[in-house]
Amino acid sequence: MCYKKTEHWFPLWIDLNMFMPVGVDCWIDNIRLVYNKTTRQSSNSPGVQVRVPGFGQTYPIEFLDYNRLAGYFHTMVQHLVNVGYTRNETVRGAPYDWRLAPNENAEYLSKLHKLVEEMYEEYQKPVFLLAHSMGCHYVLYFLNHQPQAWKDKYIRGFISLAAPWGGAVKPLRVLSSGENDGIPMISNIKIREEQRMTTTNPWMLPTKAWPSDHVFISTPTINYTNQDYQRLFTDINYEDGWHMWEDTKNLTGDLYPPGVEVWCMYGVGLPTPVTYIYDEEFPNKDPVDFVYADGDDTVDSFSMSLCKQWAEQQEQPVHVTEYRGLPHLDIVFHEKVITQVQQIMEGQSDVPKEIDVRYGAE
């Protein structure tokens, strides 16, 4: 049975207990969004209030759970502290509700704007914005909506880690048949219920930057490209997904340059699915095979490398470093990445085009 009322706030993401079989249905009901296709707006599950604690502080991004088991930016923050930065002063966190695309998160973007100005006024220096994965799209959306004069004054640069600039193929599997990310206590089909209730998964689908004939999902009866999303959403019985994609596809899909100096860093050299092959039980069974291409095991290098095009589209420099052998999540705590981030923040703008992080590589 789920709690109908609580006296205190409790963690929703991540509370590892929620993934136990007895708790997963309650967790899904608490974390899901209700999408209204008439108003094109999302709301929390009826009777549920959700807040993101600790804006401006680092603790919400250092670990994803209160037990400090699921580490995220802790290694990077601790390294910066070790070389002279101060938590919650010269290193700040800007956690956001990852269920919502930025078109529904105006309050967050306003808080980020104020945080940047606050840090500038305190230290009389422009700030670096650093983000990982989908967070990079949030930063791009934020920068695209600021006047150039504001960016020139307040932003020193944007460090992007493993950004799926052309979208990612994985959300197609997530929305079609579910993806439990290796959590053994919960099935892919069960987690699909929650994964279909956020607007960010449709937002991250592969964009028009991909070839129009690239097959992302292959079934015995139809091959789906990025021209077939409406048909796909109908076939998997998820028509709200089509409306969510329509609402979000142009938020960052055109990849307008950010108008600040960029350091674009991502992993390469790892097999990464770019096509999911299903049998006749699609979409209610896992893929039976995959087609792989180069990437970081989660996002393909084609998508992540699209930041290179900004070099010809903006005056500010664009630096790209590819980390050979570096997985998608590991990029936030690998020592070579963290060292490069430190050097960038210390004023060493030039960076190598490739760094090999495979075992024994020099």
Provide the CATH number for the domain around residue 22.
3.40.50.1820
Domains in the chain, number? 1
**Per-residue pLDDT for the chain (362 aa), expressed as one digit of tens each?**
566 677 777 767 777 666 666 667 777 788 788 899 899 999 888 888 878 889 999 999 999 877 777 789 999 999 999 999 999 999 999 999 999 999 999 999 999 999 999 999 999 999 999 999 999 999 999 999 999 999 999 999 999 999 999 999 999 998 898 776 666 667 666 766 667 788 899 999 999 999 999 999 999 999 999 999 999 999 998 989 999 999 999 999 999 999 999 999 999 999 999 999 999 999 989 999 999 999 999 999 999 999 999 999 999 999 999 999 999 999 999 999 999 999 999 999 899 999 999 986 55
Residue 283 placed within a domain: yes
Give me the phi and psi of 311, to 5 degrees please.
-60, -30
Query: Residue 244: inside a domain, yes or no?
Result: yes
Which one of 42, 133, 218, 305 is the catalytic residue?
Answer: 133
* Domain presence at residue 79: no
* R_g over Cα of the chain: 20
User: Model-level pTM?
Assistant: 0.92
CA atoms within 13 A on the CB side of 83: 13
Question: What domain range includes position 148?
Answer: 16-52+96-356
DSSP 148-192: HHHHHHHEEEEEEES--TT--SHHHHHHHH---TT-TTS-HHHHH
CA 311 to chain centre: 23
Q: How far apart are CA 58 and CA 55, in angstroms?
A: 8
Catalytic residue among 296, 300, 319, 334: 296
Cα–Cα nearest to 336, from 320, 319, 356, 353: 356
Active-site annotation holder among 74, 132, 319, 328? 328
> Two tokens at 205?
């689908």
Question: Could you confirm whether 296 is annotated as catalytic?
Answer: yes
The answer as to whether 61 is a domain residue is: no
User: Is there a domain that residue 305 lies in?
Assistant: yes
Which residue has 């136990």 as its token pair?
A: 20
Residue 3 in any domain: the answer is no
Q: Please identify which residue in the block is written with the tokens 């759970």.
A: 65
Q: Is residue 328 part of a domain?
A: yes
Query: How many angstroms separate the Cα of 210 from the Cα of each of 169, 214, 287, 304?
Result: 11, 7, 22, 12
Does the active-site annotation cover 235? no
Sequence-ordered list of residues with C-beta below 8 angstroms from that of 1, at least 6 positions apart, any chain: none
In angstroms, rounded to a whole number, what is the distance separating the alpha carbons of residues 138 and 61? 15
